[in-house]
Amino acid sequence: MGFCRWRIAVAVLLAAEYYLPSSVEADEHEHTYVDKEEVVLWMNTVGPYHNRQETYKYFSLPFCVGTKKTISHYHETLGEALQGVELEFSGLDIKFKDEVMQTSYCDIDLDKAKRDAFVYAINNHYWYQMYIDDLPIWGIVGEADENGEDHYLWTYKKLEIGFNGNRIVDVNLTSESKVKLVPNTRIAMSYSVKWKKSDVKFEDRFDKYLDPSFFQHRIHWFSIFNSFMMVIFLVGLVSMILMRTLRKDYARYSKEEEMDDMDRDLGDEYGWKQVHGDVFRPSSHPMLFSSLIGSGCQIFSVSLIVIIVAMIEDLYTERGSMLSTAIFVYAATSPVNGYFGGSLYAKQGGISQPFPLLPELFSLRLLFLPSHSFSTNKLGYFVLIMCLTSNGRRWIKQMFIGAFLIPAMVCGTAFFINFIAIYYHASRAIPFGTMASSVAVCCICFFVILPLNLVGTILGRNLSGQPNFPCRVNAVPRPIPEKKWFMEPAVIVCLGGILPFGSIFIEMYFIFTSFWAYKIYYVYGFMMLVLVILCIVTVCVTIVCTYFLLNAEDYRWQWTSFLSAASTAVYVYMYSFYYYFFKTKMYGLFQTSFYFGYMAVFSTALGIMCGAVGYVGTSAFVRKIYTNVKID
Ligand SMILES: *[C@@H]1O[C@H](CO)[C@@H](O)[C@H](O)[C@H]1NC(C)=O
């Protein structure tokens, strides 16, 4: 049996295991307790209040651990690991419905070094985060007095836990008893637990973390109404263009002379019809282009599916589940990428072979079907490698580029930020010792994304890879005439992104704020509407841009349509600068690079998505208007 199979099985298992939180051990996963059952207080992270992503392990500050040591195993999901969740047991003895009066659980021997650590944390407004039964709790480390000389540590954690039946539905933390930090003293840390009956339903227990006053529906509706006006205007414009171009043809069939003056002005002597012999010429850099389009289609489907899942299920109630879902959906939608990228490349590359896939299928058959002979396997690899390296197989290269474009971009940024994080010892740094999550991500890339992409590519090449364009492509490219400066592709590209950006920037503010200021985003219905509006606006704008470009007898519409939609990303990235300087109080190398690094990733992904959506819409438009062109 080929060991390839075994490896794929392992990868799928790995992915599945990471994706589905293990449900074997666990009250914490079931969220039900019997009386006096252990309730675990997990200490998560500590970090500056203004830098929400700069987090360190709770015990990186010299806090002391409670006396209770035994603890059941904690299982981390991939999403949590990537988000830097670092749960450590607090050592506090808490039992369900068991009141604890103020009890000291440990002492801190405050020497000079420990005092300095606390003073540093207090001066930087450190706060910490804990979890009880997946409910997050936040507390402040300490306080400085006005002139900043004396520093105080909160030593008493007063927990009030609300229960409803056998479930925990509410947790409040009050910090009390501040103690002045004086070197060479002992500081006793204490806690108390009070249990209260509560009427909050278990399903609604996260509602108190949502912030309806921030996510005001009025603002959302206003923004959507605004964008909707834009949509109506643009759709009107596009249908006018379509009608003009198409009507002219019908008019031509019936009676040539009936063309009105305006038609003659923008008529046949110059204009889009002149470039019919070049408009379906392959774009420059077809490999990169089709990879970008494929990736963009994939990002679009991922966004769509994740938003729908988030609308149906409250993903915010479980740590890291949003990220896990996104990774899972991304892997599962790889065929989309392969299909669109592969078919576009086949159309553009136009390398036709009598039996395009025979050698690949042959080699894959050798590799994947059970065979007991080692030499068959070797032959399979040999043929596959020959296929990969031979020149007529450039589509495989395209498939690799398409499959790894986005993962490489994300991983590259993460890697870079990790280096800075390690320098800072932030808990976001994926520990290089275990690297479990990196290995998992690599496994998903190679054993899930790549094969699925291959399937999509093969389907795409065979089902819609034929370049059946309505017009023939001339052998010699037509020279592009001189034109006004505002008809240059570069100018069109710059202007193209303005309207799509205008239709989303209000929602961007909410999305940024929920990500960077730790408000829970929950109005996914609005997000869905905004996505739909964004797509319509993008398609309309690129169609209009392309129409102007073609009318200027410039046939390089493919990259122009992609880039004019993708330039939305540039505006979003510029907006993120504004957001950083005026809406946040982040500071420090780590947080800054984290912010700008991931904003760049986000903007690029958004840009690729818009570009692909714009291109797909525009190519349908171009195909439509040239279908009726009669070449005399
Ligand atoms: C926590 O605080 C909120 C707001 O002050 C209060 O409504 C709720 O009852 C408290 N919960 C518990 C368990 O004390």
Is 425 near ligand 1, meaning CB less than 6 Å away?
no
Strands 135-140 and 126-132: antiparallel
Q: Which two tokens stand for residue 305?
A: 């599916």
> By three-state DSSP, how is residue 164 classified?
strand
Q: Whose CA is nearest to atom 10 of ligand 1?
A: 172
Of ligand 1's listed atoms, the one at least distance from the Cα of 198 is 13
Q: What is the pLDDT of residues 293-350, one digit of tens each?
A: 999 999 999 999 999 999 998 877 777 788 889 999 999 999 999 999 999 999 887 5
Helices 217-254 and 589-627: angle between axes, nearest 10 degrees: 30
Torsion from C-alpha of 533, 536, 540, 546, nearest 10 degrees: 120
Q: How confident is the model at residue 15 (pLDDT cuts 50, 70, 90)?
A: very low
Average the pLDDT over each of 368-372, 448-452, 568-572 and give the range with the smallest value.
368-372
Give the pLDDT band of residue 33 (cuts 50, 70, 90): confident
Ligand 1 centroid to 198 CA: how many Å? 9
Largest CA distance in the chain: 101
3-class secondary-structure state, position 63: coil
Q: Which region among 43-52, 415-424, 537-546 has the lowest average model confidence (pLDDT)?
A: 415-424
Q: Whose CA is nearest to atom 13 of ligand 1?
A: 162
Tell me, in angstroms, the distance from the centre of ligand 1 to residue 172's CA: 6
Q: How confident is the model at residue 581 (pLDDT cuts 50, 70, 90)?
A: very high
493 membership: H or E segment, kind and range: helix 489-496
User: How sure is the predictor about 180, in pLDDT bands with cuts at 50, 70 and 90?
Assistant: confident
Greatest mean pLDDT among 177-181, 411-415, 548-552, 563-567: 563-567
What is the DSSP code string of 404-448? HHHHHHHHHHHHHHHHHHHHHT-TTSPPTTT-HHHHHHHHIIIII
Which is the closest atom of ligand 1 to the Cα of 172?
Answer: 1
Report how far ligand 1's centroid is from the alpha carbon of 208 (Å).
10
How far is 582 from 403, CA to CA, in rounded Å?
A: 37
pLDDT of 12 > 60? The answer is no
Q: Burial level of 23, CB count in 10 A (0-12/13-18/19+)?
A: exposed
Instruction: Enumerate residues 6+ apart whose C-beta is below 8 A from 600.
Output: 413, 573
Cα 523 to averaged position of ligand 1 atoms, centre (Å) = 25
Residue 69: the pLDDT is: 72
Cα–ligand 1 centroid distance for 322 (angstroms): 28
Q: What is the mean pLDDT of residues 209-236?
A: 85
Tokens of 233: 């205007």
The residue whose CA has the least distance to atom 5 of ligand 1 is 172
How remote is the CA of residue 137 from the centroid of ligand 1, in Å? 13
Residues of the chain with pLDDT > 90, as a percent, come to 34
Between 16 and 558, name the one with better pLDDT.
Answer: 558
Q: To test ligand 1's pocket by mutation, which of 94, 160, 194 has the most ligand atoms within 8 angstroms of CB?
A: 160
- The pLDDT value recorded for residue 349 is 73
Name which residue sits closest to atom 2 of ligand 1, judged by CA.
Answer: 172
Average pLDDT over residues 492-501: 93
Q: Which atom of ligand 1 is nearest to the CA of 161?
A: 13
Q: What is the mean pLDDT of the chain?
A: 82
Cβ 172 under 6 angstroms from ligand 1: yes
32 band by pLDDT with thresholds 50, 70 and 90: confident
With 0-12 CB in 10 A as exposed, 13-18 as middle and 19+ as buried, what is 573? middle
User: Can you give the pLDDT at residue 14?
Assistant: 45
Span 266-281, average pLDDT = 74
pLDDT at 628: 72
* The 3-state secondary structure of 339-356, one letter per residue: HHHHHHHHHHHCCCCCCC
What was the pLDDT predicted at 432? 46
160 lines ligand 1 (CB under 6 A): yes
- Retrieve residue 467's tokens: 């370049």
Q: Which of 51-60, 164-173, 316-325, 430-439 has the lowest mean pLDDT?
A: 430-439
Query: Each residue of 431-459: pLDDT tens digit?
Result: 544 566 778 888 888 999 999 999 999 89
Residue 208 CB less than 6 A away from ligand 1: no
Cα(211) to ligand 1 centroid in Å equals: 16
Q: How far apart are CA 187 and CA 154, in angstroms?
A: 10
**Residue 89 pLDDT grade (very low, low, confident, very high; cuts 50, 70, 90):** confident
- The residues with which 126 forms a beta bridge, in sequence order, are 48
- Residue 428 pLDDT exceeds 80: no
User: Residue 507 and residue 223: Cα distance in Å, rounded?
Assistant: 8
For residues 466 and 132, what is the distance between their CA atoms, to the nearest angstrom? 58
Question: Does 1 have pLDDT greater than 50?
Answer: no
Round to whole Å and give the CA distance between 100 and 577: 49
Instruction: Please classify residue 112 by burial: count the beta carbons closer than 10 Å to its beta carbon, then call 0-12 exposed, 13-18 middle and 19+ buried.
Output: exposed
For residue 142, the cross-strand partners are: 153
Distance CA 430, CA 420 (A): 11
Give the Cα separation of 79 and 466 in Å (integer).
Answer: 41
Residues 6+ apart with CB under 8 A from 47: 54, 55, 56, 126, 127, 426
Q: What's the CA-to-centroid distance between 96 and ligand 1, angstroms?
A: 18
41-48 and 88-89 strand pairing: antiparallel
Q: How far is the CA of 196 from the centre of ligand 1 (A)?
A: 9
Using the mean position of ligand 1's atoms as its centre, give its distance from the Cα of residue 189 in Å. 23
Per-residue model confidence (pLDDT) at position 81:
75
Of the CA atoms within 13 Å of residue 497, those in its CB half-sphere come to 27
Q: Report the pLDDT value the prediction gives residue 20, as an integer from 0 to 100.
A: 44
Residue 47: what residue type?
G
How far apart are alpha carbons 508 and 501 in whole angstroms?
Answer: 9
Parallel, antiparallel, or unpaired for β 126-132 and 41-48?
antiparallel
Q: Is the pLDDT of residue 2 over 80?
A: no
Q: What is the pLDDT of residue 481?
A: 86
Alpha helices in 88-200 (DSSP H): 112-123
For residue 170 and ligand 1, the question of a CB distance below 6 A is answered with yes
Strands 151-164 and 185-197: parallel
Average pLDDT over residues 493-498: 93
Quick one: pLDDT at residue 203?
86
To 10 degrees, the CA torsion angle through 296, 299, 304, 307?
Answer: -150
201 CA to middle of ligand 1, Å? 14
Question: Is pLDDT at 21 greater than 60 in this prediction?
Answer: no
Beta bridge partners of 185: 110
| pLDDT for 576 beyond 50 | yes
Who's near 239: CB < 8 A, 6+ residues apart? none
Q: Whose CA is nearest to atom 14 of ligand 1?
A: 160
* Ligand 1 proximity of 174 Cβ (cutoff 6 Å): no
Contact at 8 Å (CB) between 455 and 526? no
With a CB cutoff of 8 Å and minimum separation 6, the contacts of 324 are 18, 19, 77, 78, 79
* 135 CB within 6 A, ligand 1: no
pLDDT recorded at residue 249: 58
Classify burial at 442, counting beta carbons within 10 Å of its beta carbon; exposed 0-12, middle 13-18, buried 19 or more: middle
Distance from Cα 61 to the centre of ligand 1, integer Å: 29
CA–CA distance, 61 with 127 (Å, rounded to integer): 11
| Bridge partners for 89 per DSSP | 42
pLDDT at residue 266 above 50?
no
pLDDT in tens, 94-123: 888 889 889 888 888 888 888 889 999 999
Instruction: Give the number of the atom of ligand 1 that is nearest the alpha carbon of residue 171.
Output: 13
pLDDT of residue 369: 62
Please enumerate in sequence order all residues whose Cβ is within 8 A of that of 593, keeping only pairs 6 or more positions apart, or say none: 416, 417, 420
pLDDT of residue 3: 35
Ligand 1 atom at minimal distance to the Cα of residue 196: 13
**Helix, strand, coil share (%) of the chain residues, nearest 5:** 60, 15, 30
Does the beta carbon of 284 sit less than 6 angstroms from any atom of ligand 1? no
Supply φ then ψ for residue 213, to 5 degrees.
-70, -25
CB contact at 8 A, 449 and 407: yes
User: Which residue's CA is minimally distant from atom 4 of ligand 1?
Assistant: 172
pLDDT of residue 86: 73
Q: What is the pLDDT of residue 491?
A: 93
Kindly state if the Cβ of 196 falls inside 6 Å of ligand 1: yes
- DSSP reduced 3-state for 370: coil
Q: Please, what sign has the CA dihedral across residues 38, 141, 317, 332?
A: negative
Q: Which positions ≥6 away from 583 have C-beta within 8 Å?
A: 509, 512, 513
- Over 60: is that where the pLDDT of 220 sits? yes
Task: Answer whether 538's CB lies under 8 Å from 500's CB.
Answer: yes
In the reported structure, the alpha carbon of residue 160 is separated from the centroid of ligand 1 by a whole-number distance in angstroms of 8
- Give yes or no for a contact between 272 and 245, defined as CB atoms under 8 angstroms apart: yes
